[in-house]
Amino acid sequence: MPERRLLVADLGEMPYVDALALQRDAAKARLSGALADDLLLLVQHPPVITLGRSTKQGNLLASSDQLAARGVELFEVERGGDVTFHGPGQLVGYPIVNLQQHTADLHWYLRELEAVMIRALSAFEIIAGRNAGKTGVWVGDRKIASIGVHARQWVTWHGFALNVTTDLSYFDLMVPCGIPDVVMTSVERELLERADGTCFAPSPSLFDDVRLRTIAEFASRFRLEPASLHVQALREMIVQ
């Protein structure tokens, strides 16, 4: 059994700006040693578009008025990658991980995050994989999960976004991840539209099922023992 713990804090639905502050504080605590264990924050956000460091001009297709009309916030952040969307029904994970205790290589880390989601999706009979040269997780030519991370002294924050029951129409407001003509998909859509023509009605607990499977696969992949942590206990741990 793994000796090191993975603290898992389920934030529920939280505004993006609050979750961003929390993960930045957690990363500082991990750097200082105040937070002794790796941490996985899981959250759903109200509709928000984030612009990563590699965002190209023109990849955000909507005006500020159009975003406001749909209730979508907009943030520029320090993560890698281009423009993406977060919203209800999307499982967003922010791992605060010290890569020096694993493998000090960001490319390795990105591939491991992909592997976590690929393995989690396989539990729902969704055959997912990688797309050469494009970070993220794909089902055929459809993108189901996006990844964008940042690290300082090998401690990571930001992370991954897996579409579970996400309203995919929000992705029409942008060129998702800066990939022209990309088709976004979700766990729900893949279950409803199987390639073999069969139809599987997702259960009401689909989001929670995917969340629990993702936790299990993350812990297994990083050889950690998961331990639940209430958000208030986390805040007390990372107060400087």
| Catalytic-labelled residue, pool 113, 173, 177, 234 | 177
Cβ partners under 8 Å of residue 107, min gap 6: none
Structure tokens at 4: 């090191």
Specify whether 199 is catalytic: no
Compute the distance between CA of residue 210 and CA of residue 137 in angstroms, rounded to an integer. Answer: 15
Cβ-based neighbour number of residue 17 at 10 Å: 12
Phi-psi region at 125: left, alpha or beta (left = phi > 0; alpha = psi -120 to 50): left
Here the tokens at position 75 are 């943030």
Q: Say whether 196 sits in a helix, a strand or coil.
A: coil
Active site residues: 177
